[in-house]
Amino acid sequence: MTVDYPPTRVAGRGRGWYRGDCHVHSVHSHGGELTPEQLAAAARAAGLDFLATTEHAPADTHGAWGRHVGDDLLVILGEEVTTRTGHWLALGIRPGQLIDWRYGVRDDVIDRHLDLVKEVGGLCVAAHPYAPYLSGTFMYPYQGFDVVEVWNGPWASDAPWHADNESALAEWGRGLAAAVHRGRWRPAMGNSDTHLAGQLGIPHTVVLADELSTEAILAGVRAGRSWLAESAAVDLTFTACAGERTAGTGERLESGGTPVVVRADVTGVPSGVVTFHTERGTVHRAELPDTGSGTVQWRTSQEESAFVRTEVRHPDGPMAALSNPIVLS
């Protein structure tokens, strides 16, 4: 195999919203059927700006990606670390770096391996916490992880190996109130876990980053400046405003004691249902027109809500988009 590592930055791409899938397998993983070349083409066709290669034990496959990227696609080097009691994603590791997977929760060594990723500026993601297969269910505490993958693959599926996304989202959502109060909450992430054709980008994460680079994308994900989409056909702008002050997803709004107006602008979800959520649960619900485009607003205050996040679902229930919270203070 020719060694050609992908660049860590795409030149000429400044601050903006970037779409990407950070859980992707090629023929170099068990069950993968697509080559890196085919995955790069699929990423472009799906409207993605970046992807992360997360093979199982990938040290000798990182060099297969460089010749397939260009000025329109960033490839982040990573690994799916498949331990005996849960899987996690090591994103932003060095070329050829291998993170060991031969342990379980009883070995009490997970922090050592997380530190190896963080030492190189990488990101540690708890993957598909409710995957219903041997070793797939996540048994480690979230402490030490940067992000939780609450959406893995299609939202609803009859496949026996499909992750229970509703349970993963509910668990993450229940922990937000206490986490926000402590000042350290873990953002949510969505990825496809692609192994087969037609899976890439379903879903993906949309990140506000200073540039299209590994460092900037991971910084945006780590800060929660992101929202999750089922496809590039869906768009969401989520903001909160108090007087002249405005904040977006993952940001903190200093309300100054004034009323807060929360707003979601959505396109691409015909007859969809938009809900707002705080530590009190679901606090507002509105339906979109059959065109799929609309704006939903709701008023609150810092005294009533420590944070607000939004979900957009199709009329029959599956998720179309969801945001990380805006913190009110």
Residue 257, pLDDT score: 87
| pLDDT tens per residue across span 159-213 | 777 899 999 999 999 999 999 999 999 999 999 999 999 999 999 999 999 999 9
How crowded is residue 107: how many other Cβ atoms within 10 Å of its Cβ? 12
What is the distance between the alpha carbons of residues 287 and 264, in angstroms, rounded to a whole number? 12
At 58 the pLDDT is 66
In terms of Cα–Cα distance, which of 210, 212, 193 is closest to 202?
193
Q: How far apart are CA 83 and CA 136, in angstroms?
A: 9
Tell me the pLDDT tens digit for each residue of 83-127. Answer: 999 999 999 999 999 999 999 999 999 999 999 999 999 999 999
Output the pLDDT for position 161.
Answer: 78
Instruction: Summarize pLDDT for 46-85 with one digit per residue, the tens.
Output: 999 999 999 997 667 899 999 999 899 999 999 999 999 9
- Residue 93 has, within 13 A of its CA and on its CB side, a CA count of 30
Q: What pLDDT shows up at residue 105? A: 98
Torsion from C-alpha of 159, 165, 166, 171, nearest 10 degrees: 140
**pLDDT confidence of 214, banded at 50, 70, 90?**
very high
Backbone conformation region of residue 116, classed left if phi is above 0, alpha if psi is from -120 to 50, else beta: alpha
Was domain 16-229 assigned CATH 3.20.20.140? yes
**Confidence band of 2 (pLDDT split at 50, 70, 90):** low
Rg (CA), the chain: 19
Domain residue spans of the chain: 16-229, 235-328
* Contacts of 86 by beta carbon, 8 Å cutoff, 6+ apart: 105, 126, 127, 129, 135, 136, 137, 138, 139, 140
CATH number of 235-328: 2.60.40.10
User: Whole-prediction pTM value?
Assistant: 0.97
CA distance 44 to 86: 31
Calculate mean pLDDT across residues 121-145.
96
| DSSP codes, 203-257 | SEEEEEESSSBHHHHHHHHHHT-EEEESSTT-EEEEEEEETTEEEETT-EE--TT
DSSP 99-137: ------GGG--HHHHHHHHHTTT-EEEE--TB--STTTB
Cis (ω within 30 of 0) for the bond into 203? yes
156 falls in which pLDDT band (50, 70, 90)? confident
Q: How far apart are CA 224 and CA 178, in angstroms?
A: 17
